[in-house]
Amino acid sequence: MLIHQLPYHHDSSLLFERIAHQPWAILLDSGQMLDANTGKPGSQYGRYDIMVAEPFMTLVTKGQNTEVTEITQHNQVITSAENPFELLKKTLSQLPAPQTLFPFAGGTFPFSGGALGYFSYDLGRCLEKLPSLAQDDMQLPEMMLGIYDWAIVVDHREKTSHLVSHGFCESTKANWGSLCVRFESFNQVKMHENPFLVTSSVQSNLAEPAYKRAFAKIKAYITAGDCYQVNLAQRFSAKVQGDAWAMYKQLRQTSPAPFMAYMQMPSNNGEQFQVLSNSPERFIQVSGKHVETRPIKGTRPRSGNAKQDLAYSNELLTSTKDKAENVMIVDLLRNDLSKSCEIGSVQVNKLFQLQSFANVHHLVSIVVGKLKADKTAVDVLRDSFPGGSITGAPKLRAMQIIEELEPHRRAVYCGAIGYIGFDGNMDTNIAIRTATICKNLLSFYAGGGIVADSDASKEYAETLDKASSLISIIKLFTRL
């Protein structure tokens, strides 16, 4: 095991900027930022930031096939038609590693190498038979994972930073000294002279009249008994140019969240695309045998007026409708976790916790379980994918209705971003509040669950509340 302590700084972006523009560079960001008023650490959402680059293998799924590229073997490519989850499970099983203890404080590194990347919402097509109705205009892979031999782990609780590796690759061991030197200093990195600009107005693919027509169809499906809840989303888009990393830095400063991510990803035509996630929601975490999911259902806007803000939060906490939606999804996830967890171990630890973020209040519940002896983190992910909080119930029928009513495929949105380590541990988000920048087009979605007593105007307004952080950032960079 290779472990090198680095200087700690509260702003992990200073470390990540050394690799931010490399293909396959990824930052999993816990949303810890300095308070703009006091200059002291604030927004204490999470504990760890994880950053990686230079994978020694990649898995890229498009349609029925996954390309496995062995980068350390002169980019040797093998194409497989095997289920992507099973292929990932086999790949990780060939490189097992124990949990890595900190050299002090008795803790462990959450990630010290393994798979890291995204599982798009449309990867669900490898698990369920769905119609092909929505337009796939971005043509992004359904899954993009790098297998990484080294990572930087920043622990904001212990105020430490470490470069860690299991040393599986000879190149990692050979270049370990230069890797350590690369991240030793916090001197300002010279960034590309390519400012980020938004060059058009923001357009929706489901403006209010079209949204309300889709809403009415969902209500009809619910009345007919097809489903209980369907998550309906609209997509916002705008033309952009320049360096997306600048936009992400502004986003993490303005609207930090506990499961943020920035991804610099290559595409087939040699161009790169970026994923900027501002997610507040954990999908699945596996730590040893402990399994946890934290679904979000229930939203109210924030207000700059303290009295009104408190009224919004109290309204959410006492809302029978929002609590009923939350319980519906909790029950769905209990069923999903039970497929891979020991009988009787799946429990609801907490219901209807209020969590407040920069632009919205949410109701969050916590469901836990104990992993079966013959199951892995990949099994839990597959059995629960895509997350019930962003599909509806029952899941398959809700996904069919989403495909019918949303004009474009969701791609990364409502999929999952995160890691599965060589040690078997995993943490993933639900990729909501997530933007993709591809071919100079920035796209992001906002949606919400529709149930029998939902009101169309209120649900539409909720999508705008959820989109407000990204829209406010876009305004800062707009040059028309």
Is 217 a catalytic site residue? Answer: no
Percentage of the chain beyond pLDDT 70 is: 93
pLDDT of the residue at 36: 47
CA 408 to chain centre: 19
Which of the residue ranges 43-52, 235-244, 256-265 would you say has the lowest mean pLDDT?
Answer: 43-52
pLDDT of residue 97: 83
Among 281, 325, 406, 462, the active-site one is 281
Question: What would the two tokens of residue 15 be?
Answer: 């470390």
Residue pair 46/32 in contact (Cβ under 8 Å)? The answer is yes
Residue 281 known to be catalytic: yes
Catalytic residue among 89, 297, 323, 466: 297
Checking if the pLDDT of 105 tops 70, the result is no
410, pLDDT greater than 90: yes
pTM over 0.85: yes
pLDDT at 80 over 90: yes
How open is the CA angle 143-147-149, to the nearest 5 degrees? 160
Q: Is the pLDDT of residue 44 over 60?
A: no
Query: Containing domain of residue 453, as a range?
Result: 2-477
The end-to-end CA distance of the chain, in Å, is: 52
pLDDT score of 38: 47
CATH of the domain at 386: 3.60.120.10
Tally of domains within the chain: 1
The Cα 279–Cα 298 span in angstroms is 15
pLDDT of residue 111 exceeding 60, the answer is yes
Q: Produce one character per residue of 57-80: b if its CB has 16 or more CB atoms within 10 Å, e if not.
A: bbbbbeeeebebbebbeeeeeeeb
Arithmetic mean of pLDDT, 112-119: 96
pLDDT of residue 192: 59
Pairing of strands 347-356, 360-370: antiparallel
Helix (H, G, I), strand (E, B) or coil at 49: strand
Considering the chain, what is the average pLDDT of its residues? Answer: 91
Confidence of residue 100 (pLDDT cuts 50, 70, 90): low
Q: Amino acid letter at 16?
A: F
Residue 33: per-residue pLDDT:
60
3-state helix, strand, coil in the chain (%, to 5): 30, 35, 35
Percent share of the chain, pLDDT over 90: 76
Contacts of 400 (CB under 8 A, 6+ apart): 130, 131
Confidence of residue 1 (pLDDT cuts 50, 70, 90): confident
Higher-pLDDT residue of 407, 186: 407
Please give the pLDDT value at position 62: 95
Which residue's structure tokens are 């920048």? 437
Q: What confidence score (pLDDT) does residue 185 get?
A: 73
In 3D, which of 321, 460, 328, 347 has the Cα closest to residue 395? 328
Q: Which long-range contacts (CB under 8 A, 24 or more apart) does 220-225 make?
A: 221/397, 221/401, 222/450, 222/451, 222/452, 223/452
* Distance separating alpha carbons of residues 339 and 85, to the nearest angstrom: 15
Q: Identify the pLDDT of residue 42.
A: 46
Asked if residue 319 has pLDDT above 60, the reply is yes
Question: Residue 191: pLDDT above 70?
Answer: no
CA separation (Å) from 239 to 195, 199, 200, 268? 14, 5, 5, 21
